Chain A
């Protein structure tokens, strides 16, 4: 049972990382902000340039 719970947690963490939810949480933590439209817009602005420099494979 514990193994299943661990597996689910890892899968959820992976999805949160792939979909940048974890990056947003880190941004909020670093900037001392709470989740809101403004903080998400600020996160996107900061994140955009770095993310857009990342190549995606063929």
Chain B
């Protein structure tokens, strides 16, 4: 009876999922309710987890509940620590959920709601969750080794080196793009800038509270900090209304870029934990709270999606970024579907906390499903906007111009009606002077989120507060990634330089700290500056570059996973990682080819450089700079592709060698030790 009920339950879930996916895929010409996306997502995740992840766990990985994990064998009360599986799940989710699943889906919404939704669902269930799960388990079986160490052990030195360079490249490009998103969200916005500026004294106050008043009570002080941040958001409206104060907090994009670079350098080079650690906690507190609140808001409001399923921009002429639906939808949305960066977390802190091998399924596969759900929420937030409004916010001045009437006319001519008066009214409602040319995804997401919140929690009069809450949430979140990312990259560079000259590797030697901090900030600052000065808004060039590098890291992670699966004598099941790998190779290599060599100057870096070089009249320094930047972007892309090709060739050699019997099939796992938990539990 129980079995029959179970079968009936899963059959119902499958049927409901099919109906929901059918509804969102086949609806044309009339708006769709967001609940269809929610139902489709829940059913896909439930079925994927119950059946696909179980298949992987039992048939391929053969999870062994009797095998002691490194958390048990190497427990030291610091890194290695046996931890409750739900606690590890929350910890892992908090580490993998960054701004990527919020920004990427918003940008990809220019193709319509359908491509992003389908990629997020299928990509997560068949690729992203699988990658996170298998890398986590393989790291657990190797004493919590990192991806770069596993790549070196299982594929060879080339694999380790490429993984290392890819991580640095991704970090630098990510930090440049992330900073650009903050600049675009805060430029000419005294309210937003004031709120973010206020987080610094609030964080310092939290630091003093933690040090002097209630040592270690982080949750308590984060809640207090959150209340103060809400007060700062509320106070921001008065700053924006006061001419003198507004002037004080109004900055141009280049000025903001310089301020952010100075902040990044100070955060990396100075011992300022009193400021940074509380900000980090505050950001995490706001992040988890906002994601939960957004989920509640979507369910309560179940808004209608105004964006069509597919827009005319699937042909590659989109204003947000140029390029056809294939491959660009699949590199624009990385986190939320599959993100190579997750492999670093799955082989970082998390494997050192897992109590039983069997828990890797819930933590690895399950947390990625939760991240994918965040991406679905971002798609909903972007698609509840009228398409004309979405394109007015996300289109750069280089495409639609800066004059409101001209921009509105251009966008309306694409078939997405919007008027200058509509945009003025919306800007007024959210407390901004203008919402045109706010590229980067964050402002569009903030408007969508404010729309959902104000319709379900508090009414339209709170629209401006919700908008600035959303902007604060994204900017605070990204600034935390900026300072943490700069320090992680600095440590990685110091580690490498330590092999050349020992003192450079010492993380306490100040000349090394200053030099490597300057190097890292200079590198991402260069990309940021390039984006700020780019007439096409920067996102058009930099987000695809970030997406490509992130997916190339996933390619490396899937090469490692496939190699280990083949070495485990499970070659007949290798398709589980091989098919996502093949898909990613197709996507990233095609996207790279387009970004480097496409004849359309909006798509190809080299074509744009050629067009600018052939322009009439004498060349200005600014034009020369843009030409150089385009060639540099093409070169960065080319180097990454060549390196990943090397890993692929090296992996292929391993696979052929193993399958033909020419190579020894020795997996480099730590030896089996029986867990003590079995005896303890009887």
Interface residues of A (CB under 8 A from B): 10, 13-21, 23-26, 29-30, 35-37, 39-41, 43-44, 48-50, 52-58
Q: Which residues of A contact B86 (CB under 8 A)?
A: 10, 13-14
A14 touches B507 (CB 8 A): no
Do A14 and B484 form a contact, CB below 8 Å, given A29-B77, A48-B273, A58-B174? no
A19 touches B219 (CB 8 A): yes
Q: Which residues of A contact B99 (CB under 8 A)?
A: 58
**B556 touches A (CB below 8 Å):** no
B219 touches A21 (CB 8 A): yes
Pull 11 A–B residue pairs with CB atoms less than 8 Å apart, ordered by A: A18-B90, A20-B281, A37-B211, A40-B215, A44-B277, A53-B491, A54-B348, A55-B485, A56-B95, A58-B170, A58-B178
Q: Which residues of A contact B546 (CB under 8 A)?
A: 58
Q: Mark B16-56, 1 if CB is under 8 A from A, else 0.
A: 00000000000000000000000000000000000000000
Highest count of chain A CB atoms <10 Å: which of B90, B171, B285: B90
A43–B216 alpha-carbon span in the complex (Å): 9
Tell me if A's interface is mostly helix, strand, loop or mixed. Answer: helix
Q: Which residues of A contact B334 (CB under 8 A)?
A: 58
B216 touches A24 (CB 8 A): yes
A52–B513 alpha-carbon span in the complex (Å): 14
**B212 touches A (CB below 8 Å):** yes
Q: Which of A19, A29, A56 contacts B98 (CB 8 A)?
A: A56
Q: Which of A18, A29, A50 contacts B94 (CB 8 A)?
A: A18
A56–B281 alpha-carbon span in the complex (Å): 13
B491 touches A41 (CB 8 A): no
Highest count of chain A CB atoms <10 Å: which of B210, B216, B284, B345: B216
B-side interface size class: 35 or more
A14–B363 alpha-carbon span in the complex (Å): 13
Q: Which residues of B contact A57 (CB under 8 A)?
A: 95-98, 100, 335, 339, 341-342, 344-345
Q: Which residues of A contact B91 (CB under 8 A)?
A: 14, 17-18
What residue in chain A is nearest B481 (Cβ atoms)? A56
Contact residues of B between 478 and 509, Cβ < 8 Å to A: 480-481, 484-485, 487-488, 491, 507
Q: Which of B77, B216, B480 contacts A21 (CB 8 A)?
A: B216
B95 touches A50 (CB 8 A): no
Q: Which residues of A contact B96 (CB under 8 A)?
A: 57
Do A58 and B335 form a contact, CB below 8 Å, given A10-B86, A17-B91? yes
A52 touches B484 (CB 8 A): yes
A43–B95 alpha-carbon span in the complex (Å): 21
A17–B484 alpha-carbon span in the complex (Å): 18
**B550 touches A (CB below 8 Å):** yes
CB distance from B606 to the nearest CB of A (A): 27
Q: Which of A20, A35, A37 contacts B218 (CB 8 A)?
A: A20
**B665 touches A (CB below 8 Å):** no
Q: Which residues of B contact A36 (CB under 8 A)?
A: 215
What residue in chain A is nearest B508 (Cβ atoms)? A49
Q: Which residues of A contact B170 (CB under 8 A)?
A: 58
B277 touches A17 (CB 8 A): no
Q: Which residues of B contact A49 (CB under 8 A)?
A: 507
Contact residues of B between 34 and 87, Cβ < 8 Å to A: 77-79, 81, 83-84, 86-87
A39–B217 alpha-carbon span in the complex (Å): 13
A18–B98 alpha-carbon span in the complex (Å): 15
A15–B86 alpha-carbon span in the complex (Å): 11
